[in-house]
Amino acid sequence: MKPIKLLLVDDESIHLDLSSEFLRKEDKGFVVDTATSAEEALDLIEEKEYDCIVSDYQMPSIDGLEFLERVRNELDTPFIMFTGKGREEVAMEALNLGADRYIQKGGDVRSQFGVLSDAIKQEVRHYRTKERERELEALRRTVREVNQVLTKGRNLVETSKKVCDALLETKGYLDISIALEVPAYDSEGSTKQKSRVLKPVASCGDHDRKEWELKLDEDIKSDLGSVDINKNIPECFKQVIETREELIIESKKDSECCTECEFCLYDEDHSTVKIPIKLKERLGILSFCLETDRLNENELTLLREVAKDIECGFRRMEIEEALEESEKEKKFILNSLEEIIVYQNKDHEILWANKAAGKSVDENSGDLKGRKCYEVWHDKEEPIEDCPVEKVMKTGEIQKNEIETADGKRYIITGYPILDNGGEVEKVIEIRMDVTEKKKRKKKEDFLHSLLRHDIKNKLQVSLGYTQLLKEDLDSLTEKHERFIGKDWKVKHAVIDLIEKVKKVRKAYYEELKDVDLKAVVNSAVEKYQYEAANRSIKIEIDDELQENDCNLNVLGGELMEEIFSNLVINSIKHSEGSKLRIGATEYKDVIVTTVEDDGKGIPDEEKDKVLKKGYTSGGGSGLGLYFAKEIAESYDGSIEIKDSELGGAKFDITFKKAR
């Protein structure tokens, strides 16, 4: 857990000193400021941000309740009333005004500060979780706003500036920039023919930086692999240019890439993510700088989604720019593309199509003009089901879908709206990418993976057989030999188990989400391990909502949902050292949260972040069971979170989206 910034407020300095000392001893992660009055505390709150406020009740001028009310008018920071006044009416009023906890002073000093310390950490953890959810939702709204900017954009540089401005509105983002290949200019401001540079064309935020640009040879297009980039440009951008892969730096201070950087003049530690934008005629790089505690997989997924949307929007702008060129230039550029490009009106009539479009149906592209797109590619008399172009016309937004044509070919179709002056869809650019061969290669790859797994597993089974024969035929084995054979046996079984787990997770990655009956999944997983639970004297309780026939608990998932709950149930049976295992479900607006909890030894706070990571084990296991459960859950757009159970042990919250 990152450091917790505390503000302690009490009119008695001696009590403030005592509180500060004890809290720092309870947790070295506490960073404590103190104030001897509510007025002083309000001034500090104006200057700094705090993770939690702990205040006395009885203070001169402004008491704790009035102070709380003033804080709540501006902030929702966790607030704990810590006072010697134990009247019930004071506690009730404090809670009604928005206090998160009311803790009474008194009794054993160390115990009371232990209670206070735990309360602070719990409230801050809860607040940060809610804050993180709000931040992610804000980013999702920003993604939608960026899509609107991209839909209306006509110029790459101007649109880049608007995109950066929109993204910077997200809390926790320090700086956003977009670098693009653009024409180079001479000293008089004229464009140099065929000469280009890669440089930031838009940036906004708190960072001061040195300007940089990479000059490109006139004969080199976007193949920057052949450009001498050992120039005076930032090392992080250089790596993205060389690899064409995203770069993630979680901490500037800990990164070798940033050690000697002379370009970023922002002194505070921060994270950065650089994502390449791969266009047809140029390369771009989208750069995010954000607070160090911000990055996680959900955030990265959204950032990649933003980059992909920008890439699609910029490609559409490149195409629009080309369409605005002369007819000769338009045909030359668009006909050179391998993708099928079709320009059509609201009635799906083809206004123009490139050579690849004609080639795909063995016709001249000029002969497609005036015909309906769904007639040409799908042999239909009306738009096909889930047609992206049809959705563009209804929504005015970029749409994408994978479609199979009448001849068995598969295309990823992306529709881009062309808006009139009133913002209404006037025409649509349709781009089709033929993925038929890619799908065939994927099918072949899956077959080869299956063959490889089958071959390895068979050979391991043979090896296990010989090991068993060896063990049975030898009349006498030393304890040492018995141990070696046992370990060999265990390793081979672990390899077979790993092969099966990888096979299942791989399947989950490619599986389409569908409606899954959560009750059936949970009950099947429990039934599988009832015998083992009984052998260990563990009672399994399933809440009523997971057993009632008239209760609909359908979620979005896949065929491997049972694996998630099976792993959690057997993990609790084997490792909790408890006597009870309880499984329940709570329905919310958009999600259903299933809980698997026990009354065992629990999981220490410092271990909670590690338990779901690959390789973690408390002894004896492969360290993959819970990791695979997490991977499968996330592949179904779900999540697993570890908490403390009211039963006294560990609690796993498994969240999935409700079925449509």
Domain ranges of the chain: 4-130, 153-323, 332-434, 435-496, 511-657
Task: Give pLDDT, residue 308.
Answer: 86
Domain 332-434 matches domain 511-657 at the CATH topology level: no
- Supply the pLDDT for residue 268: 81
What class is the 511-657 domain?
A: alpha beta
> By percentage, how much of the chain surpasses pLDDT 90?
21
462 to 108, 450, 452, 458, 468: CA distances (angstroms): 65, 18, 16, 6, 10
Q: Which residue has the tokens 């960026």?
A: 146
Kindly report the average pLDDT of the chain as a whole number.
81
- Tell me what pLDDT residue 492 has: 62
Encoded tokens for 238: 């250089």
Please report the pLDDT score of residue 485 as a whole number: 67
Q: Which secondary structure element, helix H or strand E, spans residue 586, and what is its range?
A: strand 580-587
**Is 286 or 454 the better-scoring residue by pLDDT?**
286
pLDDT bucket at 448, cuts 50 / 70 / 90: very low
Confidence of residue 559 (pLDDT cuts 50, 70, 90): confident
The continuous run of DSSP H or E covering 153 comes out as none
Query: In the prediction, which pLDDT does 219 show?
Result: 40
Answer yes or no: is pLDDT of 278 > 60.
Answer: yes
Domain spanning 4-130, CATH architecture? 3-Layer(aba) Sandwich (3.40)
CA dist 539 and 544 (Å) reads: 16
Both tokens assigned to 274: 């650089």
Pair type for strands 101-104 and 79-83: parallel
CB contact at 8 A, 418 and 430: no
Q: What band does 447 get if pLDDT is binned at 50, 70 and 90?
A: very low
Q: State the CB neighbour count (10 A cutoff) for residue 609.
A: 11
Lowest model confidence (mean pLDDT) among 85-99, 353-367, 523-537: 85-99
Q: What is the 3-state secondary structure (H, E, C) of 393-457?
A: HHHCCCEEEEEECCCCCEEEEEEEEEECCCCCEEEEEEEEEECHHHHHHHHHHHHHHHHHHHHHH
Sorting pLDDT into bands at 50, 70 and 90, what band is 220? Answer: very low
Q: Which amino acid is at 224?
A: L
- The answer to whether residue 453 scores a pLDDT higher than 70 is no
pLDDT digits 0-9 by tens, 95-136: 989 999 998 887 788 888 889 899 999 998 888 888 777 766
Task: Residues 153-323: name the CATH superfamily.
Answer: GAF domain (3.30.450.40)
Query: According to the model, what pLDDT value does residue 450 have?
Result: 55
| Residue 170 clears pLDDT 80, i.e. is over it | no
pLDDT attached to residue 452: 45
- Mean pLDDT of the region 459-464: 63
Mean pLDDT of 229-241: 79
Residue 226 is predicted with a pLDDT of 46
pLDDT given for residue 34 in this prediction: 93
The rounded radius of gyration (Å) of the Cα atoms in the chain is 31
What does CATH list as the number for 332-434? 3.30.450.20
Q: State the pLDDT at residue 656.
A: 93
| pTM: predicted TM-score of the whole model, two decimal places | 0.39
Look at residue 83 and tell me whether its pLDDT is greater than 70: yes
Helix (H, G, I), strand (E, B) or coil at 80: strand
| pLDDT single digits (tens) 476-519 | 666 766 666 666 666 566 566 656 656 665 555 556 788 899 99
Let me know the angle formed at the C-alpha of 323 by 320 and 326, rounded to the nearest 5 degrees. Answer: 145
Would you state the pLDDT for residue 584? 93
- In sequence order, the β-bridge partners of residue 509 are none
What is the mean predicted confidence (pLDDT) over 40-58? 92
Calculate what percentage of the chain has a pLDDT beyond 70. Answer: 80
Q: Residue range 263-269: average pLDDT?
A: 79
- Burial class of residue 337 (count of CB atoms within 10 Å of its CB; 0-12, 13-18, 19+): middle
Which has more confidence, 529 or 619?
529
| pLDDT score of 507 | 59
Rounded to the nearest 5°, which phi and psi values hold at 583? -125, 125
Long-range contacts of 442-445, Cβ-Cβ distance < 8 Å, separation of 24 or more: none
Q: Where is pLDDT greater, at 632 or 221?
A: 632
When pLDDT is averaged across residues 180-193 and rounded to a whole number, the result is 63
**pLDDT of 221 higher than 50:** no
